[in-house]
Structure formats: C-alpha cells, structure tokens
Structure 1
C-alpha cells in the first residue's frame, strides 16, 4: 500500500499548522511581557524592545506580502521561521538594550513573513465566505498558546531570568520550521499559459476594495485596544497595583482563555447570525468592557477587579473581530492575497504603535495617572468599533463563495 495514500491533504495539513503559525506572535509578545520589568532593571527601558519589535513587524509585512505573491508562501514562510529562531537565539546574549532591540527588530521582520504567509494561505485554500470560520479555528489555537505563554514566561523569568524566555522562542520556531518543512506544501496558485500574472498597480486595487477598507479597519481598531493593554498592563498591574510577575502572568493568560472561548463562539455566531450581526455583537462587547474599567477607575482606583472584568469583556469582542476582520480584508482579493494581508497587517501594527506610544506618554514612574493610560485607548477602540459595525459593515456586498482558481 502506498504511503502517499495516508499523507494529509494540503488543506488538512494546513489546518493543523495554522494555529501554531499564528501563535508565533503571542510566543514573541505574551511570554515576553512578564520579563519587561527585569529587562528594564538590567538593560534600561524595556518597552523600547517591544515597540521596536511591533514596528518592525508592521513595516516588514509590506515586503513579505509581495514576496509571497511572487515566490510562493512556502519559501518565504520557511525563511521567516529560520530567521525568527536565529534572532531569538541571538537576543539571549544581548549585552545592552541596543543589541536586544536589534535582534527584536530582526525577529519582528521574520514574524511578518510567518503571519503573512499563514493568513494568505487561508485565502489560497478556502473561499471568502469560509475564511472567517477557518481563521476563527486557527485563532482558537493561537489563544491556547497565548494562554500558556505568559504563565510560562512569568515562571521562567522568576526562576531562571529573562534571557531564558528568548531561548524558549528560539526552540519553538525551530520545531515549527521542521513541521512546516514536512507538512506545509505550496498553496499559491501559479498562473498557467495564457493566464495573467499579478497585475501592476495592485496596491491601488487593494485599497479600492470597500471590503478591504472596512474589514482592515475592524482588525486594526480592535488590535489597538489589545496593544494598549499589552504595552501598559505590566506597568499598571506590577508597577501601580503591586502585583508580582507570577500573579501578573495570569492576567494575559486569563484574557487568552476568554479569547479561546470567544473565537469558538464566533464560529457558531457566524452560522446563526451572519457576519454583520456577529460583528455588531462583538463591537457591543468591545465597548462595554472599557466602560466597566472606567467605572472602576472612578469608584475603586486601587481595585484590580473592574480592570480584569472589563478586560475579559473586551477580549470577548476581540475574539469575534479578529477572525472576521483578518479574513474579510482579503476576501475579495484572492489574486492579491499576500498584498491584502500585508497591508491589513501593517495597518494593525501602525494603529497599535501610534495608540500605544501616545498612551505610554502619560505613564510616569510614580503612576500618577493610575490605570487611565491603559483604559482610555481601549474605550476609544470600542467606540470606533461600534461605528464601523453598525454604520459601515452593513453596507458592504456579500462575500464571494468562489474559491481561488
């Protein structure tokens, strides 16, 4: 009997790999959060390394998208995983903040290749109307890793030091490279004789799509609130409220647990309500969560309870918006999947960077502004999501049911 008969199909193998590929991001960020205070004590301002990482990740997507459209998803993905592992390994030995930032920038560039190829492959293999379901399934797996990553990061920092966290990232990427080498087949459709190649002026075509603009805005807005939490929550919970790194590690882990539930719920809601009403429900949750935090900041500024409850409710909305936003941005552009994914991803990182840096400017060593620098950006994101979900998304055309040729 032929062994080939038992080999998984490209779509089946990809479904197994997608959560692990998407999880490269929380491995690089969530496990890193508990290490920020210790890195700051050893090398200086630790937020610079996280900010540089995110900025590099956003910019690099503009390069990786066209590269994956031209050369294929597989070679770009494998190169990205290899560089990710090398950069994480090099960062272990950083003697200064400048060197650490340099390696984190390299890691951000490589992570762009991983996520662009993973998201573009969804559109390669599935029609637009199935994209949110597939992304929700993949993001559920990402949530599982996101649940484990901050707890493992906090434990590693407390027991072994922050450099071992980076070693864990290197091992993760190396193992994933081996899996992709064996299981990830090329998903990009190659034009045959007489078929047109990728058209010139394709970036204009991406931004001419009403669906791309709306869904990319959903993804960028919801991410801006989460990034404000990622960047500022260590300062709020550890610096302002006095939690230990181990105790803090359970907070993003708890958010990931809610995110897992939400992405699972998203698949059911899409079948029952359709994408428009599902996103409207998500926007309501995304706005309600920060409102709970606002009430807590006013009435009980030293209590973690309203901050935690509000964060959980926001994460419920985030778990709905991300699969819908990421899949919807590329739904009408199967022939430009890499470019659409890259510009959508760049928008997420750009908005997150601007919002995060603006909010961080209101944080001082005495935490004189309390939790407000973290809460206000999340509230603004929730309000913008309400506007998009109720006044923009309902006007979009229905997603295509055709697969990519």
Structure 2
C-alpha cells in the first residue's frame, strides 16, 4: 500500500511540479522575452492548463481500451518532448507551445492516477487512499518554488524544464517496473463511436458525478487563481522577495495537514459529512472577509491565516469530492476520470485566469474570487444533493 500510494502521488505531483516550480521564474521569463503586460507572465501557467484540459478526454477512453500503463507511458513521453522544447525555447511563443505539449502529456498522469485508484478502491476507502496520496503529493508545492529559485539562480530558468524531463523519466521507470496493470483485459472497452457515446452519456447524465464535478471545478478555480496571483501578490504587494517560496510552501502545508486529517476521519464520518462541513467552513471564512469589506491590503499575518484556513478546507474537499464523483462509474473509470479532469481543469483554468487577470496590485480580487467561487460550489452541492447536507449517500447514488 505504501508504494502504491507513493506511485499515485508521484503521478499526481507531476502536474503540480510543472506549475509550482515555475512561479519564482515568472519575472525572469517576462524580462527575457520583454512581455508587454505585467499579467502576461501568467500565460505560462494558463497555457499548461489548456493542454492539460485538452488531453484528458483523449487519455481516459484510451486507458479504458488499451490499459492504464501504455497510455501513461505515451503521455509521459509527450510531456518529456514538451519539456525539451521549453528548455531551448528561443521566444515566448515557442515556450507556450512547449507548455501546451507538457500539459497535454501530463494529463495522462492525472487521468491514469484517478482511474488506477478507482480500479482498486471505491467509496470511503478510495477517499482515504486519495488523501494519503495527496499528503505525499502536497510536498511538491511546499518545496517546488524553493527548488525553482535555486535552479534559476544557479543556471537560469531554462534549466527548470530539464528538471521536469528528469521527473518524467523517474515516473516512467517506476511505473514500468513496479506498478501492475489495473485494467483487466476482460474489462477493456471498445473505441467505437457508439460505445464512446453511450459511455459519455453515462458519465454526464449521472447527477452525482456531474454535480460534484462542477463543484470541484469551482474549487479548482480557487486554487488556480491563487497560483496565478501568488507571486505578484506576495512579492510585489507585500515585498517578501526571496521569502516568497517559504510563504507559498507554508500555505500549501495546510492542505497536507488537512489530507492527513481526512485520511483518519473519512472512514468514521463519511465523505459527504466531512466535505460538506469543510465547504461550509470555506464559505464562512469568505463571509468574514466580505463583512470586512474585502480589504485591499490586509495585514500579511491576517491574510496568511485566512488563506491557510481556506486551504485546510480545500484539503478536506478535493479527495472527497473526487471520490464521490467517481463512485457511481467504476465500469468506465477512465472515461469518468477524463470527464472529471477535463471539466474541472477548464473551469479552473478559466476561473483562475479571470481572477488572475483582475490583479490590480491589491489582495481584493483574490479574496473576492475565493468568496464567489466557494459560494458557487456550495450552491451546486445543494442542488446536487436536493437540499440535503451532511447526510450519507442515498441508495440510488451508490456505485454502479
């Protein structure tokens, strides 16, 4: 189990590493390519997410048909090609194309990690395994900005992409030699248009899957808005400079703590009760900031406490919402994983870009975005659960 969780965490972490390790290098990239707008540097993150979203609807059905490992290996190869192209990118347009390729290839790791866990587990046990994997995975955003800073200072930002090539190679080797194929031959599905249409309809017509996927998309937009704005907020507004990686990592640590708590509590409390409490907490925190008038520049300590508490709630929400959304669709786990990943990524990328582009030299757009997106997620969950909160799954919502 320990090694299984570690492999799943590594597959999940490849996406986080691809984003977070770049954050300290964004000002240098902007300067090297003489970008016109201050917020144009955020395209390095947004373009990756676009490729990440586009790849998931393709990798999911392929993994249902050909198995998890072949599709993962193909995706890691594409990711490595994108990393190589970015390492020697002569201009900003080439860099963005490389990031698109990275995201497209990295999407395979996201889809396959979810599908592999669903192949082996369901319900509360799936949420527990995902929480344990997230505990390991969250170490990446804690240390990645510091690693990116060190690499950039030592050999320039291009070398960061060489690190990503190495990460892809390590992941591929570990999976090739140690992860068994979890998609049984007798369960593999055809790629005929009629079957894909039926499977897609099975996914999108399921009320629980669709509802919790949309809610997760709003929550992912919270994370992406923070990732897109964090470097500008902490460095330019609060003047943290070289202390930015420490601040970023400390706040990410709240998600790691929440993941450990979730792994211990989810079996006793259930995925719905625990995640609904966390969602209510997230909306309540945002209500407090709203009552304070969404201050333009709250004291750094107060902002840190607020963001840390929000990310603690986030760590309780994501593994449970993912498990709830995947629960009814074990027979088409790859398709379900790709649908969930695609929709949440598109929503996260668009919401994060919208809030990130609203950055005006204050904390207000970010804090307002947290409040609006949290309230939207709560509204979707209420509709999905037909007005019920903190209640266990109904018989009709259980695994198919």
Does TM, normalized by the shorter one, top 0.5? yes
Q: What root-mean-square deviation, in Å, do the aligned CA atoms of Structure 1 and Structure 2 show?
A: 2.3
1:107 matched to 2:102: yes
Gaps of 5+ in 2: none
> What are the equivalent positions in structure 2 for 1:198-347 lying under 5 Å apart?
199-200=195-196, 201-244=198-241, 246-291=242-287, 294=290, 298=294, 301=297, 303-347=299-343
Distance in 1, Cα, partners of 2:356 & 2:296: 22
Q: CA deviation at 1:299?
A: 5.3
Q: Kindly provide the CA deviation profile for residues 194-222 of structure 1, in whole angstroms up to 9, marking residues without a partner as x.
A: x9868442111101112201221232121
Indicate the residue corresponding to 2:57 in structure 1: 62
Q: CA deviation at 1:150?
A: 1.7
Give yes or no for contact 1:129–1:400 (8 Å, CA) kept in 2: no
How does the TM-score come out when normalised to structure 2? Answer: 0.89
Structure 1 residues 60 and 68 mapped into 2: Cα distance closer, same or farther (>3 Å)?
same
Q: Kindly provide the CA deviation profile for residues 101-122 of structure 1, in whole angstroms up to 9, marking residues without a partner as x.
A: 0111000001101110111011
Give yes or no for contact 2:114–2:337 (8 Å, CA) kept in 1: yes
Indicate the residue corresponding to 1:376 in structure 2: 368
Q: CA deviation at 1:163?
A: 1.6
Give yes or no for contact 1:191–1:197 (8 Å, CA) kept in 2: no
Distance in 2, Cα, partners of 1:372 & 1:340: 36
Give yes or no for contact 1:30–1:252 (8 Å, CA) kept in 2: no
Structure 1 residues 153 and 289 mapped into 2: Cα distance closer, same or farther (>3 Å)?
farther
Structure 1 residues 196 and 392 mapped into 2: Cα distance closer, same or farther (>3 Å)?
closer
Give yes or no for contact 1:32–1:165 (8 Å, CA) kept in 2: yes
Distance in 2, Cα, partners of 1:73 & 1:125: 13
Q: Kindly provide the CA deviation profile for residues 113-156 of structure 1, in whole angstroms up to 9, marking residues without a partner as x.
A: 11101110111111334211111111111112221112212232
Q: Kindly provide the CA deviation profile for residues 84-111 of structure 1, in whole angstroms up to 9, marking residues without a partner as x.
A: 2232132111111001001110000011
> What are the equivalent positions in structure 2 for 1:28-177 lying under 5 Å apart?
28-43=18-33, 44=35, 45-177=40-172
Structure 1 residues 12 and 237 mapped into 2: Cα distance closer, same or farther (>3 Å)?
closer
Give yes or no for contact 2:48–2:100 (8 Å, CA) kept in 1: yes
Q: Kindly provide the CA deviation profile for residues 326-380 of structure 1, in whole angstroms up to 9, marking residues without a partner as x.
A: 222211111111111111111111111221232233235xx2xx11222211111
Gaps of 5+ in 1: 1-10
Once the two structures are overlaid, the 10-residue window that deviates more, 95-104 or 346-355, is: 346-355
Alignment size in residue pairs: 385
Once the two structures are overlaid, the 10-residue window that deviates more, 162-171 or 61-70, is: 162-171
How does the TM-score come out when normalised to structure 1? Answer: 0.88
- From 343, 348, 354, the equivalent of 1:352 is 348
Distance in 2, Cα, partners of 1:78 & 1:196: 19
Give yes or no for contact 2:79–2:168 (8 Å, CA) kept in 1: yes
Give yes or no for contact 2:283–2:375 (8 Å, CA) kept in 1: yes
